[in-house]
Amino acid sequence: MKLMIKTLSLMIGLLLAGGVQAEDKIPPTLPTQQDARLQQAATSPHVWNGVTVTKEGRVFASFTQSEGPGLELGEVGENGKITPYPDAEWNQWTSSDPEHHFLHVNALRIGPDGYLWAVDAGNTGIGTGAKSVDGGAKLVKIDLASNKVIKTYLIKPPILKPASYIDDVRFNGHFAYMTDPGAVGLVVLNLQTGKAHRVLDDQPLSIDHAPIYADGKKLILPNGQEKRVGLDQLEVSPDGKWLYYQAIPGPMARIETRYLDDASLPVDEVNKHAHKFVDTWSTGGTAIDSEGNIYASDINTRSIKRITPEGKVSTVVSDPRLVWIDAMWVSDGALWMPSGQINRTPATTGGKASTVEYPVKIYKLPLPIKPSPRDHS
């Protein structure tokens, strides 16, 4: 009995000292029962990390973990058929003309203007030693009627830093907010003038303070280091007042957008208006509905949780098939969830061989929800 007490005391001491993390030793209980509400909406022979859907039902996905060249952004057809979008040429990188070719599409969405917007990270990884490519980082606007690119916003130095990895985007009036977990900050782009400025750089709520866990396992880079990802997810409240954001491990913070939009405000003035909103978890992706409810995946428990505007948390769905749900999408009456299985790729398993189970899938969950007007109307 004395030995047991001594051992227990030692374990508690290590936990308090940060020497042992509970999740290192006690993986979460993963769901075993499939939820009958869950519908398989699409499949793919390539790993995807984001989905967006038009009101007419056209489905698009980003393929940041694509195993081969020539597919960064695609339209998803039936039977897993993926068509490079807007065409094959845009999906073939060339350093001689970076403005008109994708290097590494990491996010996409239908904007409130009805156009398809794609985010080119301008880099091939976070924390891997890769450097941002001049001319590679960009926000691309595509007309869905003509299937043509109609405008490209390049993110250039000094806004683009050597470690930058432009990750995701949300819209608020004529501003676009883009996370940069590579250099840990937020890029604010004025779509009318084309000018950009940075905010929340290395602010305490922007930085990752904990490892990332998925299915009970800590994510490891091919170089053996912990995978750490700062300011990554973001959502804008339906009224445009608040920007919610978080590093992948959480917590979620929020700040009034008026402090972000004013490029004349000093760094310290902006930073002091950012506050923790709610304690969250290792999150692959988020979405927000017309009522301001945020849907955040929990990649450690294969579930989706709802966070109300008041900060109350509940579980929406838990299912063994929801392996690393990444950037989600809210349509009229449904939540779309791409299962990317990113935690099964060499990028997060210390370079071990991929254990992704193909085809990867997008799931659809019928819910009484509507999209936020900050997405598509």
Any domain includes 320: yes
Asked if residue 6 is part of any domain, the answer here is no
Q: Rounded distance, CA 251 to CA 245, Å? A: 9
Q: What is the pLDDT of residue 127?
A: 77
Tell me the pLDDT tens digit for each residue of 23-53: 443 567 899 999 999 999 999 989 999 999 9
Query: Alpha-carbon distance 105 to 110, whole Å?
Result: 15
Residue 32 domain-assigned (yes or no): no
Average pLDDT, the chain: 90
Q: What is the pTM of this model?
A: 0.91
Residue 185: pLDDT over 90? yes
**Position with higher pLDDT, 81 vs 75:** 75
Examine residue 15 and state whether it is found in any structural domain, yes or no: no
Instruction: State the residue for tokens 């590579």.
Output: 182
- Tell me the C-alpha distance between 154 and 166, whole Å: 11
What average pLDDT does range 193-197 have in this prediction?
97
* Residue 204 CB coordination number (10 Å): 11
Domain membership flag for residue 265: yes
pLDDT digits (tens, 9 = 90+) for 281-318: 999 999 999 999 999 999 999 999 999 999 999 999 99
Average pLDDT over residues 122-135: 87
Establish if 87 belongs to a structural domain. Answer: yes
**Residue 68 pLDDT:** 58
Split at pLDDT 50, 70, 90, the class of 347 is confident
> What is the per-residue burial (b if ≥16 Cβ within 10 Å, else e) of 335-353?
bbbbbbbbbbbebbbeeee
Listed range (65-74, 123-132, 198-207, 275-284) with the worst mean pLDDT: 65-74
Question: What pLDDT does residue 18 have?
Answer: 36
Rg (CA), the chain: 20
Per-residue pLDDT, 14: 33
pLDDT band per the 50, 70, 90 thresholds, residue 66: low
Residues 200-249 pLDDT 10s:
999 999 999 999 999 999 999 888 889 999 999 999 999 999 999 999 99
Q: Is residue 114 part of a domain?
A: yes
Q: Is the pLDDT of residue 125 over 90?
A: no
Q: What percent of the chain is modeled with pLDDT above 70?
A: 91
Confidence of residue 255 (pLDDT cuts 50, 70, 90): very high
Q: Write out the residue range of the structural domain in which residue 48 sits.
A: 39-366
> What percentage of the chain carries pLDDT values higher than 90?
81
> Has residue 7 got a pLDDT over 80?
no
Band (pLDDT 50/70/90 cuts) for residue 138 is very high
Amino acid (1-letter code) at residue 261: D
Q: Is the pLDDT of residue 9 over 60?
A: no
Domains held by the chain: number: 1
CATH of the domain at 230: 2.120.10.30
- Residue 11 in this model has a pLDDT that exceeds 90: no
Domain membership of residue 359 (yes or no) is yes
Angle, alpha carbons 89-92-94 (nearest 5°): 110
Measure Cα distances from 159 to 44, 82, 191, 204, 239 in Å: 35, 34, 15, 20, 28
Give 17-42 as a DSSP string.
HTSS-HHHHS------SPPTT-EEEE
Average pLDDT on 341-364 reads: 93
